[in-house]
Every structure is written in C-alpha cells, then in structure tokens.
A and B are shown apart, each in its own frame.
Chain A
C-alpha cells in the first residue's frame, strides 16, 4: 500500500518536473510578452468601474439578449440567403427539400454540391 502511494507520488513528481521544464524553457520568450501585455492592461483596467457591479450584470444581460436576437435572425444557414439574392428562390427550396435526417445518395449529394458551387461562383462574379 505504502509502496503504491510512493510510486504514485514519484509519477506525479516526474509529471511536475516535465511541466516545469517546458515552462522554464518558454519563460524567456513568453514572460516578456506577458509583461508587455499587462503594461496596457493596467491602463485599460482603470476604465472599468471598480465600485458598481450593476454595469457588469447589464453587460452580461445585453450580450445574452443580443445573442438570442442575432441567432434567431441569422442562425447561420447562409445558403438560403445566397439563393434568394440571385432571385432563384426555387432553387434554394429545391436544395433544402431533402431533410438532413433523411439519407440521400452520393449522386444526389454531388448534384446538390455542384449546384451550390455554381451559384457561389456566380455570386462571386
């Protein structure tokens, strides 16, 4: 039991030594960068209110609410917009017609990709 514990401590010591060696190796380069970073962070921190937490709660609320609004309006399915931009809404509907959950054949997939690439090329021009 004691041997096992001693062995475990030995392993932990080896891991700690390795991490220490890596950190020491990078220290000459990384620490000055950190020191430079804190020189302007010190200045900027002066602008943060130091006696009123309300503003931080407000910022948190604003970020969450704006995140919800932005994601409701632009959830990231951009290809629908691109299709609409070209005035060929029907194509987008056609492309979206197959549900993600439904399995589609490789040929169908290739055809859809080809169509999409063609459209993006057109869009770029």
Chain B
C-alpha cells in the first residue's frame, strides 16, 4: 500500500472512530436521562415518607411505569447512538434525529400511558393523594411536535443541499 493510500485509510479510520465516540457519548447521556434518572426517581418516590407517613405507590402501576421507561429509554438511546455517530448534516443523521424526536413523544406519552402522570399515593392511615400532570404533558407534546417540523425541515435541507454540504466538508477538509 502506497504512503498516500495508507494516509487515506488512517483518515477514514480516524473519522469513523470520532463518530463512534460521539455516538457512545450521546447514547450514554440518553441512557442516563431517559432511563437511569427516571428509574431512580420513581424508585425513590415509591418508598417516600411524608412526615413519618409512608407513601405507597401501587405495585402494579410502578411496574408498568418502569417497563415503559426501560422500553423507550433503550430505543431512544439506540437511536441517539445511530444519529450522533453519523456525520454532521448527513441524511442518515437527519432521518434518525427525526425518528428520535418522534420516539421522545412516545416516551413522554408513555408516562401517561403507564399511569405515571396520574399517580395515586396511599397515605397509610390517612387516605389517598392524586398527582395529575396530564395538561403539562400535552403542552410538552405540542412543543415536541414543533420540533418534529424543525427536524423535517433540517432533513429536507440536508437532501436538497447535499452537494453544497459535501463541498463545504471538502473546503473545511473535515467530515
């Protein structure tokens, strides 16, 4: 293999390695924020005590919440890996970023679906307490929908201006 070809090979390998490190980094961030932190929060709420009185979230509902947290947390993290390990402004990044936003909507709604937004706490010897956050989630869903439109616009931009983006990459001498 000639010196220059060897150089090209190394360059490609370096670009791939950089992409993958970025992908793993963002996948880890999403794993922590969509899975680990919510999991710990709900586990903590489950055994919460208010003024010495235990708050006992229903076991069945807790299981459903954790199930959907893990399910969507995993898919979102996987998609984040794919999206962020793709080169900037590439079509595949555009596609996966859009999928990720849509999955975020599912994730957010899964809180409602699993009953996490209308949690009924049982205050032993005192009665019940209900927490309803559905309206707040509707607002967030609306914001996410607007994000989907933005991502769709980005994707269209990446497709239409593909040649220009590639030329800009050459100009910068980077991927």
Residue B167 at the A interface, CB < 8 A?
Answer: yes
A24 to chain B, nearest CB (A): 10
Closest residue on chain B to residue A59 by CB atoms: B75
Known contacts A45-B110, A60-B75, A76-B19; is-contact A113 B171 (Cβ 8 Å): yes
| B78 CB to nearest A CB, Å | 3
With both chains docked as a complex, state the minimum distance between the C-beta of B147 and any C-beta of chain A, in angstroms.
11
Residue of A nearest to B93 (CB): A76
B20 at the A interface (CB under 8 A): yes
Question: A37 with B142: in contact, given A71-B23, A93-B8 (CB under 8 Å)?
Answer: yes
Q: Could you tell me if A56 and B174 are in contact, using CB atoms closer than 8 angstroms?
A: no
The size bracket of the interface on B is 35 or more
* In the complex, number of A-B residue pairs with CB atoms less than 8 Å apart: 158
Task: Give the size range of A's interface with the partner.
Answer: 35 or more
What are 23 residue pairs bridging A and B, where the CB atoms are less than 8 Å apart in the complex? A29-B142, A31-B139, A33-B142, A33-B146, A34-B140, A34-B142, A35-B141, A38-B138, A48-B71, A56-B71, A60-B74, A63-B79, A64-B82, A67-B82, A75-B87, A76-B86, A77-B12, A77-B15, A82-B166, A92-B8, A97-B4, A112-B173, A124-B163
Chain A interface (Cβ within 8 Å of chain B)?
A: 23, 26-27, 29-38, 41-42, 44-45, 48, 50, 53, 56-57, 59-64, 66-68, 70-72, 75-80, 82, 92-93, 95-100, 109, 112-113, 116-117, 120, 123-124
For the complex with contacts A56-B72, A61-B78, 9 further pairs of A-B residues with Cβ separation under 8 Å are: A33-B146, A67-B20, A76-B88, A77-B11, A77-B12, A77-B169, A79-B166, A113-B171, A120-B166
The 7 A-B pairs at the shortest CB distance, nearest first, are namely A76-B87, A30-B142, A63-B78, A34-B141, A34-B142, A75-B15, A76-B175
Interface residues of B (CB under 8 A from A): 4-5, 7-8, 11-13, 15-16, 19-20, 23, 27, 67, 70-72, 74-75, 77-79, 81-82, 85-88, 90, 92, 105-106, 109-110, 112-113, 135, 137-146, 163, 166-167, 169-171, 173-175
